[in-house]
């Protein structure tokens, strides 16, 4: 691939072209400022590759999502979450020996330091679970400061395993705390996902058996959310990590970023919206509002920065929604009816067709989680649980990059130029 040529004013610069293994070619502008004295302007990073990565690839036009090359629908159907964690972290699907070493290594770390139970008690009972998860994740660095030296690969590995193992316990305890029930300790005879459901839904007073169909559906939700290349929260983790911050602090930064309704908070917002619509006859009113430029309303669970065909995760999620609601005998659930009809109407509407707005992963995930018995305030914490492995894989990749340096974007300054201070009596 020949260099790109950039002409501006009297200058002409040759910029190297980089070829990825998949996706568009990339113009390397690293020397642009040094050689040309100019910056590029790209708010929202719509055209900027911020790093090199071997982990996840999305083809937005094809509606394709690959983890380490493997398509998401195959992983959702044939694999399971801990195997996907191994794949994301180490680059290959594990052999059976590697898997039987990895799974117990994670399982042995599911308990939280007992002092953390007291730490939870400092939160208000009515605190949103997402606020608690964000706070507790950040606090891990004070409980496990023997794994915060990022220059030591062994400590990085321990921190990795700790976070993947403990995030289900942290999330389940945030839920238990919010409903005033006692914390349920992890049971290591259960698999990763069943253990999470057990910690959420069992109480000491009664026996609770996890339904394997629900566990499988939950596991699939984890797999579908495990990574999504350089999205806002992952970029936040990388940026926080670029300063050398400890891994727990970096992942807490990711949780904070995920919280917003344009990102991980969309699943909660989508279910709230479906409930607000309530009945199929009210859909046209909401479609009209979504199209009205003077109305800030957007159809939550629709549209994506990268997917301009369909979100492959949404397809799997829709099948799971049918399966879970069928199992629970609530396939006529009015929210699901509104969701299906809304999807149909929006996909036939020229506004949505022209703007390539398709249902995203969050459109159906809320319906499944609701049917399982989770309140909507738990949806984004569950997304954070699943995405923790993706954030860690991306953070580890960044740390091991020999040319890694602190992230420091530039700006297009539009404020006042130099002016002298004026004493208050002369203003
Ligand atoms: N409803 C109605 N109109 C929409 C929507 C929507 N959900 N999404 C985008 N548009 C319109 C938008 O008004 C704009 O119109 P125009 O060109 O006339 O100004 C056009 O489509 C492009 O929108 P954009 O905001 O420039 O697109 P973006 O790539 O910056 O935004 C998005 C992507 C996901 C933030 C946006 O589609 C959105 O706000 N969707 C609703 C929230 C949501 O479901 N988020 C979950 C994303 S998937 C989970 C995740 O990865 O975290």
* Predicted pLDDT at 332: 76
User: Tens of pLDDT along 70-109?
Assistant: 999 999 999 999 999 999 999 999 999 999 999 999 999 9
How far lies 147's CA from each of 30, 157, 208, 238, 383, in Å? Answer: 33, 8, 35, 18, 25
* Predicted pLDDT at 109: 96
**Active-site residue identified among 219, 227, 311, 362:** 362
- Is residue 128 within 6 Å of ligand 1 at its C-beta? no
Ligand 1 geometric centre to CA of 391 (Å):
23
* Predicted pLDDT at 111: 96
Buried b (16+ CB within 10 A) or exposed e, 325-336: beeeeeeebebb
Q: What is the pTM of this model?
A: 0.92
Is the distance from CB of 251 to CB of 392 less than 8 angstroms?
A: yes
* Predicted pLDDT at 321: 86
pLDDT-based confidence at residue 336 (cuts at 50, 70, 90):
confident
* Closest CA to ligand 1's atom 32: 304
Q: Which atom of ligand 1 is nearest to the CA of 306?
A: 29
All residues at 6 or more sequence positions from 331 whose CB lies less than 8 Å from its CB, including other chains: 322, 325
Is the distance from CB of 363 to CB of 270 less than 8 angstroms?
A: yes
Question: Which uninterrupted H or E stretch holds 57?
Answer: strand 56-59
- Is residue 353 within 6 Å of ligand 1 at its C-beta? no
* Predicted pLDDT at 402: 86
- Is residue 263 within 6 Å of ligand 1 at its C-beta? yes
Is the distance from CB of 73 to CB of 315 less than 8 angstroms?
A: yes
Beta 11-15 vs 17-18: how paired, if at all?
unpaired
Overall average pLDDT of the 195-219 stretch:
95
Which is higher by pLDDT, 382 or 1?
A: 382
* Predicted pLDDT at 202: 97
Averaged pLDDT score across all residues of the chain: 94
* Predicted pLDDT at 1: 76
User: Tens of pLDDT along 379-388?
Assistant: 999 999 999 9
**C-beta contacts of 19-24 below 8 A and 24+ residues apart:** 22/57, 22/59, 22/66, 23/57, 23/59
Torsion on CA atoms 299, 305, 306, 310, rounded to nearest 10: 10
Which one-letter DSSP state was computed for residue 21? S
Which one-letter DSSP state was computed for residue 309? S
* Predicted pLDDT at 62: 92
Crossing angle for the helix pair 153-179 and 247-258, to the nearest 10 degrees: 40
Examine the residue annotation and report whether 322 is marked as an active-site residue of this protein. Answer: no
* Predicted pLDDT at 145: 87
What do you get for the CA distance between the two ends of the chain, in Å? 59
Beta 56-59 vs 70-71: how paired, if at all?
unpaired
- Is residue 275 within 6 Å of ligand 1 at its C-beta? no
Query: How far apart, in whole angstroms, are the C-alpha atoms of residue 376 and residue 387?
Result: 18
Give the least confident one: 149-163, 320-334, 352-366. 320-334
pLDDT-based confidence at residue 159 (cuts at 50, 70, 90):
very high
* Predicted pLDDT at 329: 84
């Amino acid at each position: 691939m020949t260099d790109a040529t950039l002409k501006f004013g009297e200058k002409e610069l040759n910029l190297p072209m980089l070829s990825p293994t998949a996706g568009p070619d990339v113009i390397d502008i690293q020397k642009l400022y040094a050689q040309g004295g100019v910056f590029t302007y790209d708010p929202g990073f719509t055209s900027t590759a911020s790093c090199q990565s071997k982990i996840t690839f999305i083809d937005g036009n094809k509606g394709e999502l690959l983890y380490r090359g493997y398509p998401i629908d195959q992983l959702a159907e044939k694999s399971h979450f801990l195997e996907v964690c191994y794949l994301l972290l180490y680059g290959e699907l594990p052999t059976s020996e590697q898997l039987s070493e990895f799974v117990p290594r994670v399982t042995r770390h599911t308990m939280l330091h007992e002092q953390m139970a007291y730490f939870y008690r400092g939160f208000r009972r009515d605190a949103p679970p997402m606020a608690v998860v964000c706070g507790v994740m950040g606090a891990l660095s004070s409980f496990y400061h023997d794994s915060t030296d990022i220059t030591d690969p062994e400590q990085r590995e321990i921190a990795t395993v700790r976070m993947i193992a403990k995030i289900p316990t942290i999330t389940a305890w945030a839920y238990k705390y919010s409903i005033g029930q006692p914390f349920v300790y992890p049971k290591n005879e259960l698999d990763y996902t069943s253990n999470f459901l057990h910690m959420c839904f069992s109480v000491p007073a009664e026996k609770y058996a996890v339904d394997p169909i629900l566990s499988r559906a939950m596991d699939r939700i984890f797999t579908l959310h495990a990574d999504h290349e350089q999205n806002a929260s992952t970029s936040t983790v990388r940026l926080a990590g670029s300063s050398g911050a400890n891994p727990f602090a970096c992942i807490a930064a990711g949780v904070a970023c995920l919280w917003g309704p344009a990102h991980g908070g969309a699943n909660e917002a989508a279910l709230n919206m479906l409930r607000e619509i309530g009945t199929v006859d009210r859909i046209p009113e909401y479609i009209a509002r979504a199209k009205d430029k003077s109305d800030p309303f957007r159809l939550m669970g629709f549209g994506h920065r990268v997917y301009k065909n369909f979100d492959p995760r949404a397809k799997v999620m829709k099948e799971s929604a049918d399966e879970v609601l069928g199992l629970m005998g609530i396939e006529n659930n009015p929210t699901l009816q509104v969701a299906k009809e809304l999807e149909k109407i929006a996909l036939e509407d020229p506004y949505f067709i022209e703007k390539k707005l398709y249902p995203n992963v969050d459109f159906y995930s809320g319906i499944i989680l609701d049917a399982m018995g989770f309140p909507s305030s738990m949806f984004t914490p569950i997304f954070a649980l699943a995405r923790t492995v993706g954030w860690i894989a991306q953070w580890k990749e960044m740390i091991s990059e020999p040319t890694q340096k602190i992230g420091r974007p530039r700006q297009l300054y539009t404020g006042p130029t130099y002016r002298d201070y004026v004493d208050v009596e002369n203003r």
